[in-house]
Homo-oligomer: A and B are copies of this chain.
Amino acid sequence: MKPNLQNDLLLRAARQEPIERAPVWFMRQAGRYLPQYREIRAKNDFLTMVKTPELASEVTIQPVDLIGVDAAIIFSDILVIPEAMGMKLLVEEGKGGPRFPEPIRLYTQIRDLKSVNASEDLSYVKDAIKLTVEKLAGRVPLIGFSGAPWTLFCYMVEGSGSKDFQNAKQMIFSREEDARRLLQKLTEAVTDYLVMQIEAGADVVQIFDTWAGILTPDDFEEWSLQYIAEIVRNVKQRTNNRAPIIVFCKGANQSLIEIVSTGCHVVGLDWTVDIAEVKELFDGSVALQGNLDPTILYASEHVIEQRVFEMADKMGGPNGHIFNLGHGITPGVDPSNAKFFVDAVKRAYNR
């Protein structure tokens, strides 16, 4: 039996119910900027942490205790899905992020990818979520997440991060059928994965489309957004719309109205749009998450407070707003600045 939430600001914000103040959390809040995270990381490799529920839940809860955020987000990596589909995933120290030594280039490789049964193939995430919910004991909601099909596609085809994702682009430009087949397989896997996370206890889920911004608006709709829309529709249906869905398509700011039309509950915004203009554009149709410049956390407390207050003012009140940065918190941030940011949000509606 799931404990009742003592702090449900995130859920009410996501559903646009009245709130006293906007909730606040950070993308990558369970991460390297925290010394307590680095301590655990020093003794365990990254994938071991992801796959050991005790460790994953411990770092998931750290920012709730240390920084005072209004939600936990399960510690994991978006690339667990391609791995569950059968790709070999390597995370090596100092080699610039995770990579797939055998990237997807051929039709036969796409054909041979396994279809994912998340409950079995990603049972370590299920167990990490269950353990985290238990440990949180209702203090704050837990967020589950997945990479969007397009972003996973980029990594799988490229094998790693890339400057311009030439190989991924080549596949959509010149081998449309293969590209569609792979994106369709990913759509099914992501759907099953998000449903599993909600059933395991995630209160909210977020879809990250980190590489949305490398596509033209037309290509974004064709190669990314239609698959996200299918996921949103099916996850809502299969879970009876139990958990609000946040869609964050970094850099796709020309397609915000189209993102709303996926039926998601919250649109995540990067910092290159004016949130007040977006609010006006959306006219209350969804909640907004974001969108301060992540580097603001390197500024002085005075400037951090000023920017937080300005953003609260831009939104004209807390309803329908989830405070966040416009991208993940970076490893060099001083945790005391992150905590100051969170405290500033908590003060912002009582000035």
Contact = CB atoms under 8 A, between A and B. Distances in A.
A299 B173 contact: yes
Interface string A312-336: 0000000000000000001010000
A303 B273 contact: no
A177 interface: no
A165 interface: yes
Nearest to A277: B254
Contacts of A192: none
Nearest to A310: B218
Contact of A170 (B164, B174, B219, B298): B298
A332 B298 contact: no
| Interface residue range, chain A | 20 to 34
Interface in A166-210: 166, 169-170, 173-174
Interface in A271-306: 271-274, 277, 293-296, 298-300, 303
Nearest to A218: B274
Interface in A50-74: none
A299 B217 contact: no
A7 interface: no
The 7 closest A-B pairs by CB, nearest first: A173-B299, A169-B295, A217-B274, A173-B303, A170-B298, A174-B300, A216-B271
Interface of A: 164-166, 169-170, 173-174, 213, 215-219, 251-254, 271-274, 277, 293-296, 298-300, 303, 330, 332
